[in-house]
């Protein structure tokens, strides 16, 4: 906060200096004009003193208006500049805090699935487990690998978004209905033990899209739906056509998102709540990537409240 305090002291100093110089200028003008009036009356004592004074006073008032006008413009620019700088500074501070949290959580997110995969493999190697137990261990290790995979994919995509000047996605005409069905089926098969999944997808909706990107959108939204809702609740993916729009919904019955957080959650590294009290794991990259991909395909995304509780992520594309 120190640099901001120095900045405000400077702005305050400029303001005081400005008022002081404005006062001096007005005062100086007054003096000059009174000397001029004296001069006129000395050089031409017959001339009407009143007329000369009125003329000079008119000119003096015009000068004051000019000084006042310029002062208002200058002060407005000063206030505007100060407000903009303050906002930019606050934004930078928040971003760097989020970046720090991101590094902490990414390290944790990388380490914990790796540790548990190692443990599963070591147990399988050392103990002669029955087939059923082996299967459970292998499934758990696959889940952890999937988690790692999503994390690495997200970090890579976010880096590419920031640094690449080349197109990131390969757009082609795809059967959106089949592709979504496919992704959700595969996803729900590997996560069905914790949540119930439902799809309402109208058949044969076609769109120009990158397959990998579509998968990234759905996996991120489905993972969030799971992460932020209780086990055994319902997650619905629906694809509908409304007029000229293709509408994709991912609905959950979780905690929901407060109205004042609804636009921030799409920012890079943004996570609701504070680091100390937050229970869920994450990096704050998922929705940033989802939004980027949706907009890259000329779509729009927003989040609405589900009733009685939970969230609906709504994505709209042109047909
Ligand atoms: P991450 O899940 O890794 O924290 P995201 O960018 O995917 O990052 O999400 C940003 C934030 O939005 C999350 O931290 C969470 O607070 C909130 N959020 C996202 N999806 C949901 C959801 N389905 N229900 C409730 N909150 C959500």
Residues of the chain scoring pLDDT < 50: none
Distance 266 CA to ligand 1 centre (A): 9
| Ligand 1 atom nearest 220 alpha carbon | 7
Secondary structure, 3-state, the chain: CHHHHHHHHHHHHHHHHHHHHHHHHHHHHHHHHHHHHHHHHHHCCCCCHHHHHHHHHHHHHHHHHHHHHHHHHHHHHHHHHHHHHHHHHHHHHHHHHHHHHHHHHHHHHHHHHHHHHHHHHHHHHHCCCCHHHHHHHHHHHHHHHHHHHHHHHHHHHHHHHHHCCCCCCCCEEEEHHHHHHHHHHHHHHHHCCCCEEEEEECCCCEEEECHHHHHHHHHHHHHHHHHCCCCCCEEEEEEEEECCEEEEEEECCCCCCCHHHCCHHHCCCCCCCCCCCCCCCCCCCHHHHHHHHHHHCCCEEEEEECCCCCEEEEEEEEC
Nearest CA to ligand 1 atom 20: 224
Which residues make Cβ contacts (< 8 Å) with residue 114, sequence separation at least 6? Answer: 144, 148
Q: Closest by alpha carbon to 152, among 144, 163, 140, 164? A: 144
Q: 157-191: string of b/e by CB count within 10 Å (b at 16+)?
A: bbeebeeeeeeebeeeebebbebbbebbeebbeeb
Tell me if 255 sits within 8 A of 228, measured CB to CB. yes
CA of 90 to the centre of ligand 1 (A): 22
Contacts of 126 (CB under 8 A, 6+ apart): none
Q: How far is residue 10's CA from residue 296's CA, in Å, rounded to a whole number? A: 43
The response to whether residue 257 sits with its C-beta less than 6 Å from ligand 1 reads yes
* pLDDT of the residue at 46: 64
CA 297 to mean position of chain CA atoms: 19
Q: Ligand 1 in contact with 179 (CB < 6 A)?
A: no
Structure tokens at 3: 């640099």
Distance 224 CA to ligand 1 centre (A): 6
Taking alpha carbons only, the member of 266, 263, 236 closest to residue 252 is: 236
pLDDT value for 34: 83
228 lines ligand 1 (CB under 6 A): yes
pLDDT at 277: 55
Is residue 224 in contact with ligand 1, taking CB distance under 6 Å?
Answer: yes
- Whether 254 is in the pocket of ligand 1, judged by its Cβ within 6 Å, is yes
Q: How far is the CA of 57 from the centre of ligand 1 (A)?
A: 68
223 lines ligand 1 (CB under 6 A): no
Query: Which of 236, 206, 227 minimizes the C-alpha distance to 280?
Result: 227
265 C-alpha to center of ligand 1: Å? 7
Nearest Cα residue to atom 8 of ligand 1:
284
User: Which tokens sit at 14?
Assistant: 């400029």
Whether ligand 1 lies within 6 angstroms of the CB of 177 is answered as no
């Amino acid at each position: 906060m120190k640099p901001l305090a120095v900045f405000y002291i400077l702005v305050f100093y400029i303001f005081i200096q400005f008022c002081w110089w404005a006062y001096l200028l007005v005062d100086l003008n007054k003096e000059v004009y009174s000397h001029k009036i004296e001069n006129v009356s000395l050089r031409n004592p017959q001339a009407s003193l009143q007329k000369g004074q009125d003329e000079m006073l008119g000119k003096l008032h015009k000068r004051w208006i000019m000084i006042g006008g310029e002062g208002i413009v200058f002060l407005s620019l000063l206030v505007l500049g100060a407000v903009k700088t303050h906002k930019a500074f606050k934004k930078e501070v928040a971003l760097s805090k989020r970046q720090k949290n991101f590094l902490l959580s990414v390290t944790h997110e990388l380490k914990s699935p790796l540790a548990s995969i190692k443990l599963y493999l070591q147990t399988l190697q050392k103990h002669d487990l029955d087939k059923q137990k082996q299967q459970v261990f292998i499934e758990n290790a696959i889940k952890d690998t999937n988690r790692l995979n999503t994390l690495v994919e997200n970090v890579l995509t976010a880096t590419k978004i920031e640094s690449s000047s080349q197109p990131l996605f390969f757009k082609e005409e795809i059967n959106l209905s089949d592709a979504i069905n496919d992704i959700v089926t595969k996803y729900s098969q590997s996560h069905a033990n914790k949540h119930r999944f439902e799809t309402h997808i109208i058949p044969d909706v076609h769109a120009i899209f990158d397959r990998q990107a579509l998968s990234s959108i759905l996996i991120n939204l489905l993972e969030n739906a799971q992460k932020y809702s209780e086990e055994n609740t319902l997650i619905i993916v629906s694809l509908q056509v409304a007029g000229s729009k293709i509408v994709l919904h991912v609905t959950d019955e979780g905690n929901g998102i407060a109205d004042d957080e609804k636009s921030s959650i799409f920012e890079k590294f943004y996570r609701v709540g504070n680091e100390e009290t937050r229970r869920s794991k994450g990096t704050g990259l998922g929705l940033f990537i989802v939004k980027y991909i949706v907009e890259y395909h000329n779509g729009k995304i927003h989040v609405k409240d589900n009733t009685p509780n939970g969230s609906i992520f709504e994505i709209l594309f042109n047909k």
